[in-house]
Each structure stands twice: as C-alpha cells, then as structure tokens.
Amino acid sequence: MCTEPRASHAQRGMTLVELVVFIVIVSVGLAGILGVLNLTTRTSADPMLLKQQVAIAESLLEEIESKPFTWCDPDDANVTTAGSATDCSLPQGLGSTTGDARYDQLSPFDNVADYDGLEMKEDGILNPSDGTPIAGLGSYRAKVSISTAGAALGLPADAALQIDVTVGAAGMPDITLTGYRLRYAPNVP
C-alpha cells in the first residue's frame, strides 16, 4: 500500500510574498495618515488669521460708524444750523475734507465720509490715535470704500451711506464687512 505523505503539519510563519504585501499596505495607510496630519498642521493657523481679519474689520467699521454724518463738515461754522448741504461753507462730501487726516491730532477725520478711500497696506494696520503700526499686524491690509445708499433703502440718495471695510492677510482671501450709516442727526457734530 502506497500512501502519500500527509499534510497534517500546520503551516507556520509567513511567506515572503505575504510579508511584502503587508509592508506595502501598511506603508500606503501610513502615508495617507501622515498626509492628513501635514495638511492639518499647515492650515491650523487659518482660523486665527480669519479671526484677526474679522476683528480688524469690525474695529475699523465701528470707528467709522461712531463718527457723525452731518450736512456740513464739523469744522464748518454752520454745522449746527444747516438745513441741507447748500447751507454749508464746507459741505461734507465723500472723501476727507481738505487738511483732515486720520492720525492728525489737530485735524483728524471727524465725519463718516472722511474715511472714503482710506487704505492701510505697506505698514499693516495702524493705531487710530497716532498712526503707528500695531505690532503683529504688519501682514494685514485694509481698505475702506463709502458710497451713497439712500436710494437702495427708500430714502433720498444722500441720506444714507454704505461703508465697506475690506481686510486681507497674506495667503488668505479678503473679507469685507458692510455697514450703513443714516443721516438721522444732520446737525450734531
């Protein structure tokens, strides 16, 4: 009687092919995980940059909206008595009044419309009281655009202003905050 050898002994260990396949699968998985961690680490600063952009825009918008919106420039003698812009010797139009500067202690921006066209870019964001760069905000830039918006709100065209504050940071998209200022007290400087 002829019997073939029995294959009863259990296989032990792994073959070389199985080991290579295992190493390839683990390597691909590990590369994927490290790629996700790398992406997460690179973009983890983005929320902070976005939050700072919003804070800068809110601060500048609040500064602008806190200024009066009168018929006349607040330096005009008729500011408290004018019934329209025609009663002013210094009517307040869009853009800064001649001689006004945001950082000037003697003749600062004193009306909402003075801020139209304001840009901060080379030195970053500047301190509103003295015009010095604020530490840590050198890579940010800001721009203010003001336009009449009364007609869109069902008012005379010059009765309301739309204020757009755009803030950007290196490597981030610009954000724009919009506010409106109504001429509800045209004679209160």
Per-residue pLDDT of the chain (189 residues; tens, 9 = 90+): 555 655 556 667 788 888 899 999 999 999 999 998 888 777 665 788 888 899 999 999 998 998 888 888 887 888 888 888 888 887 777 766 666 666 666 667 788 888 888 888 877 787 777 778 888 888 889 999 999 888 888 888 888 899 999 999 887 889 999 999 998 877 776
Inside any domain, residue 131: yes
**25 within domain boundaries:** no
Task: Please state the pTM of the whole predicted model.
Answer: 0.70
Is 176 inside any structural domain? yes
Rounded to the nearest 10°, the torsion over CA 127, 113, 65, 128 is 10
* 8 A C-beta contact, residue 166 and residue 143: yes
Structure-block tokens of residue 56: 């800068």
| Residue 7 falls inside a structural domain | no
| CA separation for the pair 179, 137 (Å, rounded) | 23
Provide the pLDDT for residue 131.
75
Do the domain assignments include residue 170?
yes
Q: Flag whether 64 is in a domain.
A: yes
188 lies in a domain? Answer: no
First to last CA, the chain: 120
What total of structural domains would you count in the chain?
A: 1
Domain housing 93: 46-182
How much is the pLDDT for 101? 66
Count of other CB atoms within 10 angstroms of residue 28: 10
CA dihedral (67, 73, 74, 75) positive or negative: positive
Is the residue at 18 inside a domain? no
